[in-house]
Amino acid sequence: MQIQRNNILPKIITYLVLLIMLLFTLMPILFMITSSMMTSRQILRMPFNWIPEKFNWINFSKAIKGNDFNYIFLRNILNSLIVSTSVAISTVFLASLTGYGLAKFKFRGRHAVFMMIMGTMMIPFEAIMIPLYMVVMMLHIQNTYVGLILPFLVSAFGIFQMRQYLTTFPTEFLDAARVDGMGEFGIYAKIVLPNCKPVIATLSILAFRGQWDNLLWPLLVSQSEKMKTIPQYISAFAEERSTDEGAMMAAALLASLPMFILFMSLTKYFIGGSSVYESRKG
């Protein structure tokens, strides 16, 4: 009996720690959800009442209409969807293609190429932001989707992630496909990519989220109201002389939905991918 109690105690402590961490993680999300249905007075009242006295659904109408009642929210969220989706697709395609070449093709200097790619991860974006902006100005692509997307077409971290995953992929499968007469791009498209769903899902979410939350670069490139992204739209509420906190929280909640839907739709690949990765290690 004493042995069983000793085994149960660590589990209880572990679950308590996980529960506390979960509460701290969910608290900002719950605050955003409840605040989106409150008036500004209710939000600023201390102590904060987590249950709204009256559900103020008009906040969502204000969030969509915008400060100028021009419904620019719909255009801004469309801009973010186009930019984030384009960057996610290009990142997955180029990173997987490069990672496949670095992992499975033996050529002189491939390790040097890989190290140079990794070296770019040490350069902060702020250090190259002004040169990139000057290039965008010279190409006259400011206030365009090309200007928003072009600097983020490929990710060094994505190449690293794909390369590390594909080093564990059995080379025998690739050799068997070559013996059967399949071309290299066919091997990449029909064998490599279908077996990389877990890492593709992870990279897609990271690339999509990186652009969905990106505020700094759109601030430089997008001066037109029609070309602004959703982080710029939300920050506009804070710039108002009299901020409507309820509408701002409603806008933030609506802007979080696409990211939440993407994550939930790709969650199954994380679960399946962990078991595949562990079996390969074994």
The residues, ordered by sequence, that sit 6+ positions from 223 with a Cβ below 8 Å of its Cβ are 142, 143
3-state class (DSSP) for residue 198: helix
3-state class (DSSP) for residue 51: coil
Q: How would you write the pLDDT of the chain (282 residues) with one tens digit per residue? A: 455 555 787 788 888 998 999 888 888 888 888 888 888 787 777 887 788 878 888 888 888 887 777 788 889 999 999 999 999 999 999 999 999 988 888 888 888 998 998 888 888 888 888 999 999 999 999 899 999 999 999 889 999 989 988 888 888 888 888 888 888 888 888 888 888 888 888 888 889 999 998 988 998 998 888 899 998 888 877 666 566 778 888 888 888 888 888 888 877 775 554 444 444 444
Query: What's the CATH fold of domain 60-281?
Result: MetI-like fold (1.10.3720)
Rounded to 5°, the CA angle 66-210-275 comes to 130
pTM of the entire predicted model: 0.82
Query: Which tokens sit at 249?
Result: 């929280």
**In the chain, what are the domain boundaries?**
60-281
What are the E-state strand segments in 129-267? none
